[in-house]
Copies of this chain bind each other. A is one copy, B any other.
Amino acid sequence: MSDSTFPIGMKLRHARKIKGMRLCDLADQVECSEGFLSKLENDKVKPSLQLLHRIVAVLETSISTLFSKTDDSIVSRAGTRQILHTSNIRPGEGVSLETLISPSKGHLLFGTIHIVSAGGGSSGTIIHEGEELGYVLEGELDLDVDGTEYHLMPGDSFFFPSRLPHGYRNPTDKETRVLWVNTPPTF
């Protein structure tokens, strides 16, 4: 039973929740039984590779993501974290990401510190599934969610479903740092 079973249940459940599906919805689309999916999400059965394939297809994730080892460095120290510059990827945005959780996929949570330089901001309002939670550590931020703009000061926080179109900008001439957590990386 529970020999060397890799615990993918929780990840599957999360992937399903992200899509707002019930077990019966998923069972419907995957064409298997609801009960089996329940047992699967509770790590009480092992699925066939074929079935698993159909499941990850519907949930829009991948088997490799599912089985990737979740990084176990528990604590990350201030100043020691990997910093990614989005301008290396898409030029001219002036946003850096300090990774709180090593983005080794398969996590349910994803956390970064958005370091938004003066005048910088996000570009394309990315719309995806999941939820976003943020907390302004330092500086100010103009956050635009679903057409409404919010001016945030240190200590303010925000929360919204990722499906709402959203973007942000730092209107000041000082750097802004925002702790940003969202559900899953979708890698």
Contacts and interface: CB of A to CB of B under 8 A. Distances in A.
A15 B4 CA distance: 39
A155 B70 contact: no
Interface stretch (A23-31, A73-81, A116-124): A73-81
B109 A17 contact: no
A178 to B, nearest CB: 11
A38 interface: no
Nearest to A160: B74
B75 A183 contact: no
B108 A18 contact: yes
A75 B109 contact: no
A101 B143 CA distance: 16
A105 interface: no
Contacts of A109: 109, 131-133, 159, 181-183
Interface stretch (A45-53, A56-64, A87-95, A144-152): A144-152
Contacts of A150: 72, 74-75
Interface string A150-171: 1011111111110000000000
Kindly state the interface size class of chain A when it binds its partner. Answer: 35 or more
A29 B184 CA distance: 24
A159 B101 contact: yes
| Most central of A18, A108, A145, A156 by chain B CB within 10 Å | A108
Given A18-B108, A75-B152, 14 more contacts: A10-B129, A75-B157, A75-B158, A76-B156, A76-B158, A76-B159, A78-B153, A100-B157, A107-B159, A109-B132, A109-B133, A111-B133, A111-B181, A181-B181
The 9 A-B residue pairs whose C-beta atoms are closest, nearest first, are: A78-B155, A100-B157, A101-B159, A75-B150, A109-B131, A181-B181, A108-B131, A75-B158, A111-B133
9 contacts: A75-B156, A77-B155, A78-B156, A100-B157, A101-B159, A107-B131, A108-B130, A109-B183, A135-B179
